[in-house]
A = this chain, B = another copy of it.
Amino acid sequence: MWTATEDVLPYIAIGAGILGTGGGGNPYVGQLRAREAIRKWGPVNVLSPDELPEDARVICVGGIGAPTVGVEKVRDLQSYHALRAIEDFVGEPATVLISNEIGGSNSVEPLIAAAKAGLPVVDADGMGRAFPEFQMKTFFVYGVPCCPMAVADEKGNSIIVRDTISPVWAERLARAATIQMGCVACYAVAPMTPEQVKRTAVPNTLSLARDLGLAVQTARDSGGDPLQAILETCPGRILFTGKVVDVDRRTTSGFARGSLTIDGIDSWQDSAMTIDFQNENLVARVDGEIVCTVPDLICAVTTDTGEPVTTELMRYGLRVAILGFPAPALWSTPEGLDVAGPRGFGYDTEYIPLEV
């Protein structure tokens, strides 16, 4: 067990920004919200999955919507409202919270609800990265029911997605409600057992986010190389380095969708990378050739400070390094790839695992 205090939030923000692959909600906004919650209601204990009590009821909470909207329409306590709504629906309270995805502000969304509710969180999540759609969670890939789940907004509206014929239908219905709610909402899913968490969650990812951020900050403070620090903490490689020359971004159907183009520098001089995104970076190509796809992680950080650049803040002129990291093992199975491989996003291409 460790304790998520105000002090570790800046590290988590950097690490979750990297692991978010462009999405998961703006990490800086998430950090400010979590800081506010911890200042108000106290720090939050973080249990490792092995430390979960046998009778734990673990509720997954998260944000849903378009990150482009989330930076302007900042969330408040929607995840806490969604938590209370689903507890009320199932008739039993949560004893532990878990992150839906470790990327971006979703890494700390459970800390906010947990601080308010006086609960611990478990050091794990349902993606080991960020993905744009609700059904794209290792929990659901490996048999945890996706319903009932609650969606709540900041105004006082809430719905329960009670029963669906597939996890994709839960996404459709929750997304439709989210769009009505202003493209920014939070959700909470019916409780999981400790067995389900241990079997289906990606473990130790809040620690990983924290460690990544600490490594970056230490490198910055000591005049070291932040990119090197990232790759030493989390095995991966630099896919490309260059200057962002175009961002084509639309907020549509409840997502931020589009693509960006990067002109190469250093060893990528005279090459260009394009990245397609749907909240998160999905497919990276160099001169038209695919070099990395989901579920592997495609992460943009600034070349000088290793600062993650999320989809909604990506802009012309930024000097970025595009890092690739292999997906958590739970995603590289046939079941995992069905949901979150290239074909899960409509790309007619095989998944070729990134080599590092």
- Interface pair A164/B173, CB less than 8 Å apart: no
Count chain A residues whose beta carbon lies closer than 8 angstroms to a beta carbon of B.
21
Determine the chain B residues whose CB is within 8 A of the CB of A156 once the complex forms. 163-165
Determine the chain B residues whose CB is within 8 A of the CB of A160 once the complex forms. 89, 159-160, 162
CA distance A180 to B158 in the complex (A): 18
CA distance A203 to B179 in the complex (A): 38
Determine the chain B residues whose CB is within 8 A of the CB of A180 once the complex forms. 172-173, 176
Query: Does A169 sit within 8 A of B, measured CB to CB?
Result: yes
Nearest chain B CB to A184 CB, angstrom units: 15
Query: Does A161 sit within 8 A of B, measured CB to CB?
Result: yes
Interface SS majority for chain A:
mixed
Query: Does A85 sit within 8 A of B, measured CB to CB?
Result: yes
- Interface pair B169/A157, CB less than 8 Å apart: yes
Query: Does A177 sit within 8 A of B, measured CB to CB?
Result: yes
Determine the chain B residues whose CB is within 8 A of the CB of A163 once the complex forms. 85, 156-158
CA distance A164 to B180 in the complex (A): 12
Nearest chain B CB to A228 CB, angstrom units: 47
Query: Does A40 sit within 8 A of B, measured CB to CB?
Result: no
When each residue 78-116 of chain A gets 1 if its CB lies under 8 Å from chain B and 0 otherwise, what string results?
000000010001000000000000000000000000000
When each residue 211-239 of chain A gets 1 if its CB lies under 8 Å from chain B and 0 otherwise, what string results?
00000000000000000000000000000
Query: Does A9 sit within 8 A of B, measured CB to CB?
Result: no
- Interface pair B150/A157, CB less than 8 Å apart: no
Q: Which one of B85, B161, B165, B179 lies within 8 Å of A159 (CB-CB)?
A: B161
Nearest chain B CB to A88 CB, angstrom units: 8
CA distance A176 to B153 in the complex (A): 15
Determine the chain B residues whose CB is within 8 A of the CB of A155 once the complex forms. 165, 169
Determine the chain B residues whose CB is within 8 A of the CB of A150 once the complex forms. 162
- Given A89-B160, A89-B162, 5 more pairs with CB closer than 8 A: A85-B163, A155-B165, A155-B169, A173-B180, A176-B177
Closest 8 CB pairs of A and B: A176-B176, A160-B160, A156-B165, A158-B162, A172-B180, A157-B164, A176-B180, A158-B163
A selection of 9 A-B contacts at a CB cut-off of 8 Å is: A89-B162, A155-B169, A158-B163, A158-B164, A159-B159, A159-B160, A160-B160, A173-B180, A176-B180
